[in-house]
Structure 1
Amino acid sequence: MKLKLLFRTLLLWVCTLMVYGVQATVDKVELDGNIVKQSTLDDWQTINLGSSTANVTTGVIADLPPQTIFWKGGSKDTLDVTEWWYKDGAVPDKDDLRNGYAAAYFINNGSGSDDLVFYFGAERYANNGDAIMGFWFFQDKVGPGPGNKFTGQHQENDLFIIMEYPQDSNSVPFVQVMRWVNSGGDVSEHLELLYASGDAGAKCLSAGDTGVACAITNENSELAGVANGLWPYENKAGIPNTYPYESFFEGRLNVTQAFLAAGVNEIPCFSSFLIETRSSRSETAQLKDFLGGDFPLCSIAIAKTCSATELTGSNQFRIDYTLQLTNTGVGSIGAGETVTINDTPSNGTAFSISQALSAFANGADGWAPNEMLTYTGYYISDVNGGTNTVDASVSFGSASISADPYTATCDSLALSPMLSIVKNCSVSLAENSGLVALRKDYDITVCNTGDAPLDVSLTDSVDSSLNATFSLDFAKQCLTNNDCGSGYSCDGNSLMCTNTAGEVEGNFGGNVCELTQSHYFPSTLPTGADGTLSNTATARATSPVVDTGDLATIGNSDTASCDLCPLPVQE
């Protein structure tokens, strides 16, 4: 059965090479069985010390005993992570991991695009036996959790690499690459074979290295340890600052080409990795030691544009916004993942948006690297424009990635508060308590001629009984009669809604003008040949939505002069 499976896989790879024109990977990392940079390429020395060209690095993950070994027989690579157990304890020295690490690169494939290539390395404590290791790359965040069980779970297209390096003379490494499937695997129910090296082996940069996957170990003692400017490492032989032969292992996987062989065109969004030692190359082998950590292949960014577009009847502002979310990572994000956006407007009323990626206009097919998703909406704010801070995250099962918060300054709605005042008056002789007295009649009209609501204070220079306070709506603008309410039509000259009496419709149904009418009997005599009385009415206003400066007022006044002669005749 396994021979047939191997033949099928090799045949699949031949077809893939023919269809896609795959070339051997032009490595960016020295695959020479040591960690020291010796050419223009990167090596683990530069990768782990921060001077490489890698797109993603994990750093050195240490695993000193008695930390975290697999526990219970049910911890198998054929089972979901939810079935894995761990504890602190001991394993055989040859299976005791001391350090592990990984890196990701984009490498030109010679066909006008880049392949995603993973490099990985591990160090063990003793070399008295064959080295059999597994390397998992997860989309979920997988690792030790509470109750001696692992957190996270498998996702479709998690990657699994088995590497065996026997100690026989002229031995070559065996490398097998699989992906996790929800069902229908050919290695097991949940494992599907993508690549197997076969008897020819897959020693890096040898004839058996197709450029897809390979492994190599140090065949001689190599430099290690802090004395050589590297990271701590201790071996069972007690040789300081040295990797004894077959103590250091490294490998490569061309992720893009491995998935193309299975007909998968979008690279998953990996977020964590795990290195394990195993009792054999079998997929059901007993698991020994492990180490792992974050593998930040995914990242997102968010930006926002916003502006105040409308004033509401409650003197608040409608803020329209557009969010731009960009996949800035190197992996695709599945359409079923959940995107959460948190927005904090200037008025402090925070709100959240949470929906599946497929609900975005262009998210049904997933979220590819460098692809932008957009989301538009509005909210009501007490602030005209202001600043808004927004952040976003995407969840992957129990894991998530977050964007850096973005602060946007929203454009404000341009408002110009203005008012007008007109005062008219007349004087006449009239009976008052059995006497002939001078009577003054007046009317004052105050109108809101701007585009913001006003709170008006009206005063008169002579008669305090004329003083009043009231609020004014502003005029409803129009282009056609359909923009106006019942009983109003659009005035083509002013572009305001008016009725047959010439009254202007308020934007929110209130009065645009306020008419004050009354009369009184002055206590002073008219002056001049015509018998003139005059006084001034002043209207000042504040706006509940516009700050007009330190005084926060706008003002206007009108003086009315009334002549007694010729004597008016009262009706």
Structure 2
Amino acid sequence: MDTQYIRNAMQRMTGAVVGALLCSTLALAPAHAGVLTGMLVLDGNTADPSGAAPPDDWESFPANQANTVRATGIVADTVPAVFRNGSKDTLDIGTWRYDLGSSPPKTDMKNGYAAAYSNAGDLIINFGADRDSFSGTASLGFWFFKNPVVRNDATGTFINPVTGQPATHADGDVLVAFEYSNGGAVTTVRIFKWQAGALADQGSIGVGPTSVAGVYCDPADRVCGATNNTTLNIPWAGTVQPGQFFEGGINITKLLPGSDSCFSTFMATSRSSAEPNASIKNFIIASFPVCRLEVTTVCEGSVFQAATNTVLNTLKGRITNEGGGTVTSVSVSSKPAFIAGTVGFFTCDAGGSPTTTPQSPASLAAGGAICFRGQYSSNTLTTLGTVTAAASTGSGSITDTDSATCTTTPPGGLAVTKVCDVDLVAQNNQLVVKINYSGSVTNTGAYGLTDVKVCESAEVAPGVDPCSVAGHTEIAIGNLDAGAVKAYSSSYFPNQALNGQGLSTLGNPEAAIFKDKVSAKGTRPVIVGGGVLQSPATEAACPLCK
């Protein structure tokens, strides 16, 4: 790909789209059409000679959508509908009514087109339509709505699919109306903008022929229109006669400076003229989300909090402005909710992760990205964190969501030590043996234990848990935090002794050895599954004679 050629083409287009909106007559025909280069070829046909490389043309959709901000592409009029008399552009959308059925061939559109591009910070929108037939002078209008608008064929009205209520205009909706003759010349371009509840006329723009045959533009190349001046074969429409295919392009940023250009819906209309009170006939409507966020998120880590038996999870990710205009007030939230004060915005590294360099979320240019990091708490070891990124478009907001699973497995552990010694004490006028033992219990795990106890049982067979022996002794330890150590001690009077071979030595006291075992157990918190955690048993041997 010749990237220098593309870069030069973009620069030529940007420099060309700088003139004043109030130019109403053509003073000098432009030598070239700036909105034609670098993005989508506006030349009165649909062929894309560049193939996969920019610039695009309509026949390359949807294959080359990666070159666009948002490509609606070609929308077929599969269920034709006609506006009823009285449905005017000067009225709010909620008052428009339509009936199913086709218009007369001259005003019956078969397909509509729309694609948006971002170039050097400018939003370029290309659009068009092909019609059933052509004769005389024709008029087409192209609406770009900021609020979502869809058809409701059951009632012949338009609704907002988000609210379910009748569709309404938003300040900043744009209508571009063209008139052109059966010779193919674009004669009139009118620009309208919905403001303060009414359709505001932004003026007529004079257009004239350019160096590209059949293409008409204003001197500053902010708006262009073209028709086919010869028979044209369109893959999705067949052979069309001169004038049946129309395409246009506008630089919204230069044409209406300061406008919020986050459109969501496109509508092509056939009309009786370019005047604002013209009767509108056939229409084609489609989703056209020019402004769009994309958020991606992953779990950066999970840390068990032993003090509260909760997990502190950290999510990180990237928010990208995939749309054609700058958005402001970027924010991010999560469910479970981020802990207040833990969310930060940063620049992104090459892998899309946050760096340590802060970045302001006040605004995000088209194509720009900002990374974030935030933490939330959970009372389960595995949680699904859902992140929602939002930004203001001026008239509303756009959002996107993504989810990531955080999980951790905190280790549990309990250890006990034991030592013992032999005493001879007087009891009931006899000298008897007393075994004293002591040790410590340590919580070697990452979470606290409750109701910890030491189990002691004398002369326990190998492999037998002293806590399971009937009549064993229990010493209460209480709660034991992660890493905590507590001492224990007790004593007992043995009723038998063993020798080195494990045989009873009551008759051979000088070889007597007293053995017993201890183990510890405690209750685990619910977050790790509850139940009892038990230590390995520890045995101590105390010889009677040392």
- Report the Cα distance in structure 2 between the residues aligned to 1:170 and 1:547, rounded to whole angstroms: 76
How far 1:192 sits from its partner (Å)? Answer: 5.8
Q: Are the aligned partners of 1:174 and 1:201 in contact in 2 as well (CA < 8 Å)?
A: no
> Where in structure 1 are there 5+ consecutive unaligned residues?
1-6, 15-21, 108-112, 184-188, 225-229, 234-240, 344-350, 478-505, 507-511, 566-571
| % identity of equivalent residues | 21
Give the letter aligned to residue 515 of structure 2.
N
1:122 paired to 2:134: no
After superposition, the Cα gap between the structure-2 partners of 1:280 and 1:340, relative to the gap in structure 1 and judged at 3 Å, is farther
Give the letter aligned to residue 290 of structure 1.
F
Partner in structure 1 of residue 10 of structure 2: none
- Report the Cα distance in structure 1 between the residues aligned to 2:217 and 2:488, rounded to whole angstroms: 99
Equivalent in 354, 364, 372 of residue 374 of structure 1: 372
Q: Helix, strand or coil: the match of 2:21?
A: helix
Post-superposition CA distance 1:461-515 (Å, at most 9, x none): 42854443767644578xxxxxxxxxxxxxxxxxxxxxxxxxxxx6xxxxx4252
Partner in structure 2 of residue 166 of structure 1: 181
How far 1:534 sits from its partner (Å)? Answer: 1.9
1:515 paired to 2:515: no
Q: Are the aligned partners of 2:145 and 2:170 in contact in 1 as well (CA < 8 Å)?
A: yes
Give the letter aligned to residue 73 of structure 2.
G
- Report the Cα distance in structure 1 between the residues aligned to 2:528 and 2:411, rounded to whole angstroms: 10
Q: Are the aligned partners of 2:509 and 2:544 in contact in 1 as well (CA < 8 Å)?
A: no
How far 1:293 sits from its partner (Å)? Answer: 1.1
Equivalent in 209, 213, 226 of residue 216 of structure 1: 226
Equivalent in 427, 430, 433 of residue 436 of structure 1: 430
Residue pairs, 1:279-290, within 5 angstroms: 279-290=272-283
Partner in structure 2 of residue 468 of structure 1: 474
Give the letter aligned to residue 116 of structure 1.
L
Residue pairs, 1:417-428, within 5 angstroms: 417-428=413-424
- Report the Cα distance in structure 1 between the residues aligned to 2:283 and 2:419, rounded to whole angstroms: 90
After superposition, the Cα gap between the structure-2 partners of 1:85 and 1:439, relative to the gap in structure 1 and judged at 3 Å, is farther
Q: Are the aligned partners of 1:25 and 1:254 in contact in 2 as well (CA < 8 Å)?
A: no
- Report the Cα distance in structure 2 between the residues aligned to 1:429 and 1:421, rounded to whole angstroms: 25
After superposition, the Cα gap between the structure-2 partners of 1:461 and 1:382, relative to the gap in structure 1 and judged at 3 Å, is farther
Q: Helix, strand or coil: the match of 1:331?
A: coil
Task: Pick which of 285-294 and 206-215 moved more.
Answer: 206-215
Post-superposition CA distance 1:244-293 (Å, at most 9, x none): 1211100111233224xx234xx633332111112221122222111121
After superposition, the Cα gap between the structure-2 partners of 1:352 and 1:53, relative to the gap in structure 1 and judged at 3 Å, is same
Partner in structure 1 of residue 302 of structure 2: 308
Q: Helix, strand or coil: the match of 1:376?
A: strand
Partner in structure 2 of residue 544 of structure 1: 524
- Report the Cα distance in structure 2 between the residues aligned to 1:326 and 1:559, rounded to whole angstroms: 62
How far 1:127 sits from its partner (Å)? Answer: 0.9
1:555 paired to 2:536: yes
Task: Pick which of 461-470 and 277-286 moved more.
Answer: 461-470
Q: Are the aligned partners of 2:457 and 2:518 in contact in 1 as well (CA < 8 Å)?
A: yes
Partner in structure 2 of residue 319 of structure 1: 312
- Report the Cα distance in structure 2 between the residues aligned to 1:380 and 1:406, rounded to whole angstroms: 15
Equivalent in 83, 91, 101 of residue 79 of structure 1: 91
Q: Are the aligned partners of 1:122 and 1:248 in contact in 2 as well (CA < 8 Å)?
A: yes
Give the letter aligned to residue 390 of structure 1.
T
Q: Are the aligned partners of 2:214 and 2:227 in contact in 1 as well (CA < 8 Å)?
A: no
How far 1:554 sits from its partner (Å)? Answer: 4.1
Q: Are the aligned partners of 1:319 and 1:381 in contact in 2 as well (CA < 8 Å)?
A: no
Q: Are the aligned partners of 1:175 and 1:201 in contact in 2 as well (CA < 8 Å)?
A: no
- Report the Cα distance in structure 1 between the residues aligned to 2:97 and 2:114, rounded to whole angstroms: 24
How far 1:222 sits from its partner (Å)? Answer: 1.0
Partner in structure 2 of residue 43 of structure 1: 57
- Report the Cα distance in structure 1 between the residues aligned to 2:374 and 2:387, rounded to whole angstroms: 15
Q: Are the aligned partners of 2:414 and 2:520 in contact in 1 as well (CA < 8 Å)?
A: no
Q: Are the aligned partners of 2:44 and 2:214 in contact in 1 as well (CA < 8 Å)?
A: no
1:149 paired to 2:157: yes
Give the letter aligned to residue 142 of structure 1.
V
Residue pairs, 1:184-195, within 5 angstroms: 189-191=198-200, 193=202
> Where in structure 2 are there 5+ consecutive unaligned residues?
1-18, 27-32, 161-167, 346-358, 461-468, 498-504
- Report the Cα distance in structure 2 between the residues aligned to 1:527 and 1:311, rounded to whole angstroms: 57
- Report the Cα distance in structure 2 between the residues aligned to 1:330 and 1:144, rounded to whole angstroms: 24
- Report the Cα distance in structure 1 between the residues aligned to 2:81 and 2:216, rounded to whole angstroms: 35
If the length of structure 1 is used for normalisation, what is the TM-score? 0.68
Q: Are the aligned partners of 1:526 and 1:564 in contact in 2 as well (CA < 8 Å)?
A: no
- Report the Cα distance in structure 1 between the residues aligned to 2:217 and 2:255, rounded to whole angstroms: 19
Partner in structure 1 of residue 514 of structure 2: 534
- Report the Cα distance in structure 1 between the residues aligned to 2:129 and 2:415, rounded to whole angstroms: 79
Equivalent in 241, 244, 263 of residue 241 of structure 2: 244
After superposition, the Cα gap between the structure-2 partners of 1:217 and 1:352, relative to the gap in structure 1 and judged at 3 Å, is farther
After superposition, the Cα gap between the structure-2 partners of 1:304 and 1:10, relative to the gap in structure 1 and judged at 3 Å, is same
Q: Are the aligned partners of 1:96 and 1:124 in contact in 2 as well (CA < 8 Å)?
A: yes
After superposition, the Cα gap between the structure-2 partners of 1:460 and 1:83, relative to the gap in structure 1 and judged at 3 Å, is same
Residue pairs, 1:47-58, within 5 angstroms: 47-48=61-62, 53-58=67-72
Q: Are the aligned partners of 2:522 and 2:533 in contact in 1 as well (CA < 8 Å)?
A: yes
How far 1:307 sits from its partner (Å)? Answer: 2.6
Equivalent in 45, 53, 69 of residue 34 of structure 1: 45
Q: Helix, strand or coil: the match of 2:417?
A: strand
Task: Pick which of 200-209 and 554-563 moved more.
Answer: 200-209
- Report the Cα distance in structure 2 between the residues aligned to 1:560 and 1:11, rounded to whole angstroms: 106
How far 1:418 sits from its partner (Å)? Answer: 4.4
How far 1:124 sits from its partner (Å)? Answer: 1.0
CA RMSD of aligned residues (A): 4.4
How far 1:130 sits from its partner (Å)? Answer: 2.0
If the length of structure 2 is used for normalisation, what is the TM-score? 0.71
Q: Are the aligned partners of 2:88 and 2:278 in contact in 1 as well (CA < 8 Å)?
A: yes
- Report the Cα distance in structure 2 between the residues aligned to 1:24 and 1:379, rounded to whole angstroms: 51
- Report the Cα distance in structure 2 between the residues aligned to 1:254 and 1:289, rounded to whole angstroms: 26
Post-superposition CA distance 1:380-418 (Å, at most 9, x none): 2321xx463535475999997644x443455x4764634
- Report the Cα distance in structure 2 between the residues aligned to 1:206 and 1:282, rounded to whole angstroms: 19
Q: Are the aligned partners of 2:70 and 2:289 in contact in 1 as well (CA < 8 Å)?
A: yes
Equivalent in 130, 133, 136 of residue 140 of structure 2: 133
Partner in structure 2 of residue 490 of structure 1: none
The count of corresponding residues between Structure 1 and Structure 2 is 469
Post-superposition CA distance 1:85-139 (Å, at most 9, x none): 33313433311111111122334xxxxx353322112011121332211112233
